[in-house]
Structure 1
Amino acid sequence: MVRQPSRTGGRKLLETVTATEFVRVATQGRTGPAILTCEDAAGNPVELFCKVSGGCDAGVSSLARESVGACLAADLGLPIPRPYLVDLSPEFADTVPDDTVRQKLLASSAVGFGSLRVPNQFAVWAKGNQITDTMVPDAAAILVFDAVIQNPDRRDGNPNCLVKGEELRVFDHELAFMTEQLLFWTPPWKLGGLSWVGNPGAHIFASGLKGREIDYDPIKALWSNLSDTRLTEYQTAIPEAWAGSEAAVQAALKLIRDARDNIDGCLNEVRRILT
Structure 2
Amino acid sequence: MPKITDENYLIKTVHATEWFDVLATGTTEPMLVLALEAESGDRDSYVVKPFGHPRIYPQAVMKECLGAWIALELGLHTFEPVFIEVSSAFTDTLLGNPYYQRFADSIGLNFGSKYVPGTIPVVGHNCLSRIQVSQAEQVTSFDLFISNPDRREEKPNLLTVQSDLYVFDHELAFDFMLMLSFNRNPRPWELGEMELAMLRKHFLYPKLRGTQIQIRDFIERFERLDVNFWTKASNLLPTTWLSHDLITIKNHLALIIENRAIFARQLTQAILA
Class of the TM-score when normalised by the shorter of the 2 chains? 0.7 to 0.9
Separation of aligned partners in 1, 2:255 and 2:89:
43
Task: State how 1:86-125 maps to structure 2 within 5 Å.
Answer: 86-97=84-95, 99-108=97-106, 110-125=108-123
Task: State how 1:207-246 maps to structure 2 within 5 Å.
Answer: 207-240=206-239, 242-243=240-241, 245-246=242-243
Equivalent in the alignment of 1:130: 128
Task: State how 1:235-274 maps to structure 2 within 5 Å.
Answer: 235-240=234-239, 242-243=240-241, 245-274=242-271
The C-alpha deviation readout for 1:41-82, integer Å capped at 9, x for no partner, is: 311222121012221425121111101111111111111011
RMSD: 2.3
Moved more, 222-231 or 91-100: 91-100
- Which runs of no fewer than 5 residues in structure 1 stay unpaired? none
Q: Which amino acid aligns with 1:197?
A: M
Equivalent in the alignment of 1:76: 74
Calculate the TM-score normalised by the size of structure 2.
0.87
Q: Give the secondary structure class of the aligned counterpart of 2:150.
A: coil
Equivalent in the alignment of 1:62: 60
Moved more, 96-105 or 264-273: 96-105
Q: Which amino acid aligns with 1:93?
A: T
Contact 1:198 1:206 in 2 (8 A): yes
Separation of aligned partners in 2, 1:121 and 1:263:
33
The answer to whether 1:155 aligns with 2:152 is yes
Equivalent in the alignment of 1:194: 195
Calculate the TM-score normalised by the size of structure 1.
0.87
Q: Which amino acid aligns with 1:196?
A: A
The answer to whether 1:140 aligns with 2:112 is no
Q: Which amino acid aligns with 1:212?
A: T
Contact 1:147 1:188 in 2 (8 A): no
Q: Give the secondary structure class of the aligned counterpart of 1:86.
A: strand
Contact 1:125 1:163 in 2 (8 A): no
Separation of aligned partners in 1, 2:152 and 2:47:
21
- Which runs of no fewer than 5 residues in structure 2 stay unpaired? none
Q: Give the secondary structure class of the aligned counterpart of 2:111.
A: strand
Q: Give the secondary structure class of the aligned counterpart of 1:28.
A: coil
* Cα pair distance change 1:100/1:253, threshold 3 Å: farther
Q: Which amino acid aligns with 1:194?
A: E
Contact 2:22 2:29 in 1 (8 A): yes
Q: What is the aligned-residue identity percentage?
A: 26
Contact 1:177 1:251 in 2 (8 A): no
Deviation at 1:274, TM superposition (A): 0.9
Q: Give the secondary structure class of the aligned counterpart of 2:127.
A: coil
Q: Give the secondary structure class of the aligned counterpart of 2:197.
A: helix
